[in-house]
Structure 1
């Protein structure tokens, strides 16, 4: 099975760390959207899409990329890193993939550390950032390995 992982990792490169774990485990090619514009997926059997979560949303570049691709019948998976590390951020992208005819085989999310002042002066984010410190950590990376092996 030929695989590729397309990702956007702009803040602290936490999403890139997870993408590299996936790529190592399934021998996938990596495409960083910061560096690539023309993406051809015809020869891939499995396509992973990942992003950090920025101001409560996955990167718009990733959505634009998905919009531009022909995904009918393609097997895909979605992953994200965020301050809370929850999969609910992946739902919008999963819906878009399904609308484009892709089969979503799974969803993964983990925490990524952040500095609250980089995004907001809201005290709740300062509180949340304390729980995200040091992530993704060894446990997160191990969970990523387990996820991709499924």
Structure 2
């Protein structure tokens, strides 16, 4: 099993944190918020996951800015996200940033997460109850593929 680090940014409802922790448990990975990335030695890990919630169809700016500061040349990376719609295409800004930093993308994952951002708050939000057990199971299958191969 590859030595894995999972970095995440999750603040709205903790959706991305739930997925990050489930992945970390499955892969025996180190998990930390992107704010604390300075406390770990990124170069010691064989594969690094980057997870964030989505705002305006792109990963949180905090994740994008922090990831841009890391030396990822030649590193295997994966991207994951949670959003009201759960679309993997929302990962593209982070994927491109990581590729441009010289990282090797090995996979992406996305699932729904309860979302009450902006005007959808007035209708009670969307994707209530997500990530659910099926989302967690899918995240665990995904990370298993990332660290075993």
Which residue pairs with 2:103 in the alignment? 102
Shift of 1:37: 5.3
Which residue pairs with 2:52 in the alignment? 51
Cα distance in 2, alignment partners of residues 121 and 51 from structure 1 = 20
Q: Relative to 1, partners in 2 of residues 1:40 and 1:112: Cα closer, same or farther, differing over 3 Å? A: same
Shift of 1:133: 1.2
Is 1:120–2:119 an aligned residue pair? Answer: yes
Is 1:90–2:91 an aligned residue pair? Answer: yes
Aligned match for 1:144, one of 134, 139, 142: 139
Ranges in structure 1 where 5+ consecutive residues have no aligned partner: none
Instruction: Give the length in aligned residue pairs.
Output: 143
Which residue pairs with 1:8 in the alignment? 9
Task: Decide whether the 8 Å contact of 2:84 with 2:113 is kept in 1.
Answer: yes
Q: Give structure 1 regions of 4+ aligned residues with deviation exceeding 4 angstroms.
A: none
Shift of 1:57: 2.3
Which residue pairs with 1:66 in the alignment? 67
Task: Decide whether the 8 Å contact of 1:71 with 1:101 is kept in 2.
Answer: yes
Which residue pairs with 2:34 in the alignment? 33
Which residue pairs with 2:24 in the alignment? 23
Q: What is the RMSD of the two structures over their aligned residues, measured on CA atoms?
A: 1.8
Task: Decide whether the 8 Å contact of 1:55 with 1:119 is kept in 2.
Answer: no
TM, length-normalised to structure 2: 0.88
Structure 1 residue matching 2:130: 3-state secondary structure = coil
Task: Decide whether the 8 Å contact of 1:6 with 1:30 is kept in 2.
Answer: yes
Structure 2 residue matching 1:120: 3-state secondary structure = helix
Q: Relative to 1, partners in 2 of residues 1:16 and 1:121: Cα closer, same or farther, differing over 3 Å? A: closer
Is 1:135–2:125 an aligned residue pair? Answer: no
Q: Deviations over 1:88-146 (max 9, x none)?
A: 1101111111111101100000000122xx412698xx49x44x111000111111111
